[in-house]
Amino acid sequence: EVQLVESGGGLVQPGGSLRLSCAASGFTFSGYWMTWVRQAPGKGLEWVANIKQDGSEKYYVGSVKGRFTISRDNAKNSLYLQMNSLRVEDTAVYHCARHIDWAFDMWGRGTLVTVSS
């Protein structure tokens, strides 16, 4: 069974840092682009970043460039999102998703990040 499980969310103060993880199973992780998508409470989906199979290409939404870093460890079947200089507006559920054919075909249930003083 294909599964994506996020972890690492929590409460952090503005300006703080957090590292999210996504554990993949049930498929050949190293064969896929991977993505992070977030959803603020009661709001819509927002694409955050994606990363190529070998990590050689990474792309970000403008609002997180310079603050967030996406990475992966194919040996551990894991995807990461390092989030620095966090802002109140970064509060959201963060989902990892598998990329296929210019779409996101498998999603994790997400981990909640709350940025508040």
Partner 1 sequence: QSALTQPPSASGSPGQSVTISCTGTSSDVGSYNYVSWYQQHPGKAPKLMIYEVNKRPSGVPDRFSGSKSGNTASLTVSGLQTEDEADYYCSSFEGSNISYVFGSGTKVTVL
Applying CB under 8 A, the span of 11-19, 60-68, 71-79, 80-88 interacting with partner 1 comes to 60-68
- From the CB of 22, what's the least distance to partner 1, in Å? 12
Sign of the CA dihedral with 95 first, then 98, 101, and 105 last: negative
- One DSSP character per residue, 32-89 reads S-EEEEEE-TTS-EEEEEEE-TTS--EEE-GGGTTTEEEEEEGGGTEEEEEE-S--GG
Q: Does residue 103 bind partner 1 (CB under 8 A)? A: yes
Residue among 54, 56, 66, 102 that touches partner 1 (CB under 8 A): 102
- Count of residues that bind partner 1 according to CB under 8 A: 23
Q: Does residue 46 bind partner 1 (CB under 8 A)? A: yes
- From the CB of 61, what's the least distance to partner 1, in Å? 6
Q: 89 φ, ψ to 5°?
A: -75, -5
Q: Does residue 89 bind partner 1 (CB under 8 A)? A: no
Instruction: Find the Cα–Cα–Cα–Cα dihedral 60, 62, 68, 70, rounded to 10°.
Output: 0
Q: Which spans of this chain sit near partner 1 (rule: CB under 8 A)?
A: 35, 37, 44-47, 50, 59-62, 95, 100-110
